[in-house]
């Protein structure tokens, strides 16, 4: 049986009543499991993780997108995170028994249904993108909600589904398919954000680092530390241990220590087993030797 | 749904036709999955791993024990591994949705059925043991097949099920319940078996080391290395990384390096995630943050 993960992000992280309304279509449905949802008041954003059978997940998420359209008005939305729609992004991640192409297919089906049912213009991104310049979410969302009218004047930015006109309260939506992403933060025993920033620059792809690391600095004043905060966008090519050891190696230059790390949200078993396998120097080890693998077949 | 693992060991590792006959009742049964079987000609022994619904696994293993009784004659058996029966040991390991007590219960049910159906005397061991001196398998099996007549003269060694008389060709059987065990070997870049032996002594429980490590030395002449070979009998209390780092630490005394390690058979996910968590210094990490955990519920 195929299993897909879907991580829709909604532009509401403060009004918990609205949050509950948005996640409600993702509850109690056969073949659909709501794993996690985290409203963030600073970002004024809600990140939801749902998992299950592809068609059933798609239908439940379609409903949730409808609720978000009804309860969120982007004209009055403010928060610290970039966004251009009530449902801002909606990636599908193939987990089991399906390929990336299958996930792209689900993303396209959802895109078509969203534009048809709700009149929200849809951009396809990452692996589902229709052209290369739409692969990067940051590019697709550039200008944010407030810049949508202008964006749609450019024929290059016609949506993949629907007409080139923002929804009057829900804006636009980016729907895509991608690999599982690991949100991974590494703690530094310094309060100097410049050090965290310099280290982030050395390891991230955009400034010369590893191909599948996005990274930046974060202050955690209550703990008197800083963090290098990362997205590992393909852990099969850039492993967690590589990010960890690279940050340790760079931190030495500043006499700073790495004191620990954390995973935000969920992490695929394979990524962690690769870490164990590296540090123990395991020979001939693969997922087939993990007892639980046989329970998931 | 409860899942139990069962790892019966049979005293046949050379005649592959007999091996196939023994495992045959463990194939193609609904609710029972044959994960792995490894006949070892040196040991003249067959280790089988089967997993599934407790009652169904128990019934399938009962059948396999019957076949082993029919095809193995302990009076002509020889091999390098201690053994006292055609089916020598049969541990049940609770994997999911069941407690150790449930596994003990299954072990007792199987014991009763084996003695009744096949007239093979049964000793319960480890967590299923009826008294403390029967917990350790080595003690229960002491004297091996050849010493069974003498053992049964001692009223202290009356079997837990059946009469105090060995089966004329199948001997006796030890049935028990235990935690998952990890068979873990660490490679040393020395051919000096004494060094491997000395290191094994420092880390194993029996000579002053960690409570849940059994260890010994092994030569691997074809690779010009030696190994510290281990059973980690409770990885929740003595972790893999602790064994690994302890061997590294002891090896320094001899100017010897640890060059890698290997897991024999299957390893629980939790044990590997603990390793990753240790080396990355992960904060607030638990199995609930592993994506696959949600697929197994």
| DSSP codes of every residue in chain A | --EEEE--EES-SS-HHHHHHHHGGGSS-TTEEEEEEEEETTTTEEEEEEEE-HHHHHHHHHHHHHHHHHH--GGG---SS---BSEEEEEEEEEES--HHHHHHHHHHHHHHHHHHH---EEEEETT-SSGGGSSHHHHHTTTGGGHHHHHHSGGG--SBS-SS-BTTTB-EEEEE----EEEEEEES---HHHHHHHHHHHSGGGTS-TTEEEEEEEEGGGTEEEEEEEES-TTTS-HHHHHHHHHHHHGGGT--EEEEEEES-B-HHHHHHHHHHHHTBSS--GGGBGGGGG--
| A to B CB pairs, distance under 8 Å | 130
Three-state DSSP state, B36? strand
Start-end of CATH 3.30.990.10 domains in chain A: 3-177
Look up tokens 């067959």; give the residue.
B46
Q: CATH 3.30.70.670 in chain B: give the residue spans.
A: 182-295
**pLDDT score of B36:** 86
**pLDDT for res A81:** 82
Scanning every residue of chain B, which has its alpha carbon at the shortest distance from the alpha carbon of A259? Answer: B281
What are the start-end ranges of the E strands in B127-248? Answer: 173-177, 182-188, 213-220, 225-232
Mean pLDDT (10-residue bins), chain A, 297 residues = 93 97 96 90 90 96 98 93 95 93 98 98 97 94 96 97 97 96 95 97 95 93 93 94 98 98 90 96 90 74
The C-alpha of A293 sits at a distance from chain B's nearest C-alpha, in angstroms, of: 8
Instruction: Give A288 to chain B, closest Cα distance, Å.
Output: 8
* CA separation for the pair B297, B289 (Å, rounded): 13
Enter the CATH code of domain B3-177: 3.30.990.10
In angstroms, the first-to-last Cα distance of chain A is 9
Q: How far apart are CA A104 and CA A91, in angstroms?
A: 9
What is the interface pTM, i.e. ipTM, of the complex? 0.77
Q: What pLDDT does residue B135 have?
A: 95
**Residues of B known to be catalytic:** 81
In chain A, residues with a C-beta closer than 8 Å to the C-beta of B291 are 5, 95, 180, 266-269
Dihedral in degrees, nearest 10, Cα atoms B151, B153, B154, B156: 90
How many beta carbons lie within 10 A of that of residue B62, not counting itself? 17
Q: What is the DSSP letter of B49?
A: E
Looking at residue A265, its pLDDT comes to 80
pLDDT along chain B (297 residues), means of 10: 93 97 96 90 90 96 98 93 95 93 98 98 97 94 96 97 97 96 95 97 95 93 93 94 98 98 90 96 90 74
Output the pLDDT for position A296: 65
B258/A281 touch (CB, cutoff 8 Å), yes or no:
yes
Query: Among candidates B49, B128, B125, B54, which has minimal Cα distance to B85?
Result: B125
Cβ pair B280:A3 closer than 8 A: no
CA closest to B288 among chain A residues: A266
Q: Is A205 a catalytic residue?
A: no
User: Beta strands B258-264 and A182-188: pairing type?
Assistant: unpaired
| B296–A294 CB contact, under 8 Å | no
Tell me which architecture the domain covering B182-295 has in CATH. 2-Layer Sandwich (3.30)
């Amino acid at each position: 049986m195929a299993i897909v993960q879907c991580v829709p992000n909604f532009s509401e992280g403060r009004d918990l009543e609205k949050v509950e309304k948005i996640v409600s279509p993702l509850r109690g449905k056969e073949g659909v499991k709501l794993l996690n949802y985290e409203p963030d008041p600073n970002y004024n954003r809600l990140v939801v993780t749902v998992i299950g059978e592809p068609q059933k997940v798609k239908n439940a998420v379609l409903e949730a997108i409808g609720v978000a359209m009804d309860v969120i008005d982007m004209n009055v939305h403010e928060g610290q995170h970039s966004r251009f729609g009530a449902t801002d992004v909606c990636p599908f991640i193939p987990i089991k028994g399906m390929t990336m192409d299958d996930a792209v297919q689900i993303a396209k089906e959802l895109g078509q249904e969203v534009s048809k049912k709700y009149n929200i213009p849809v951009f396809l991104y990452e692996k589902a993108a229709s052209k290369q310049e739409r692969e990067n979410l940051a590019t697709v969302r550039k200008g944010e909600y407030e810049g949508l009218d202008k964006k749609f004047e450019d024929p290059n930015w016609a949506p993949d589904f629907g007409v080139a006109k923002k929804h009057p309260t829900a804006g636009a939506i980016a729907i895509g398919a991608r690999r599982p992403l690991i949100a991974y933060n590494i703690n530094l025993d310094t309060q100097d954000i410049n050090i965290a920033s310099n280290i982030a620059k050395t390891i991230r792809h955009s400034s010369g680092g590893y191909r599948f690391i996005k990274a930046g600095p974060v202050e955690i004043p209550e703990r008197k530390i800083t963090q290098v905060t990362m997205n590992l966008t393909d852990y099969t090519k850039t492993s967690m241990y590589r990010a960890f050891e690279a940050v340790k190696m760079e931190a030495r230059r500043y006499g700073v220590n790495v004191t620990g790390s954390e995973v935000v949200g969920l992490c695929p078993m394979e990524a962690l087993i690769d870490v164990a396998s590296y540090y123990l120097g395991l020979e001939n080890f693969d997922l087939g030797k993990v007892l639980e693998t046989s329970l998931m077949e």
